[in-house]
Amino acid sequence: MGVGAYISWQLMRVRMAITERERGDVPGWVLVTLMTAGIVTALWVVAEPTLKTLLKNALNISGDPNK
């Protein structure tokens, strides 16, 4: 085995070790993403009527800029 082949083999081992270590956290990130989407959806359902009223009131107060 030449020096170049040995270095390539060692680099491949390091890459595989890094990949295996980082791969284990994927389910955690998926769970965090799904929980965040669920929380945003639940808050949106609860807050939507209030937000619509707030926006309508703000637009009515500002009036028509063309008048």
pLDDT digits (tens, 9 = 90+) for 11-30: 788 777 776 555 556 677 88
The yes-or-no verdict on residue 63 having pLDDT over 90 is no
Q: Is the whole model's pTM more than 0.85, yes or no?
A: no
| In a domain? residue 35 | yes
| In a domain? residue 31 | yes
| In a domain? residue 41 | yes
Show the domain range for 59.
Answer: 25-67
Q: What is the number of structural domains in the chain? A: 1
| In a domain? residue 20 | no
Q: CA nearest 39: which of 50, 31, 28?
A: 31
| In a domain? residue 53 | yes
Q: CA nearest 34: which of 46, 42, 23, 24?
A: 42
Q: What is the pLDDT of residue 17?
A: 73
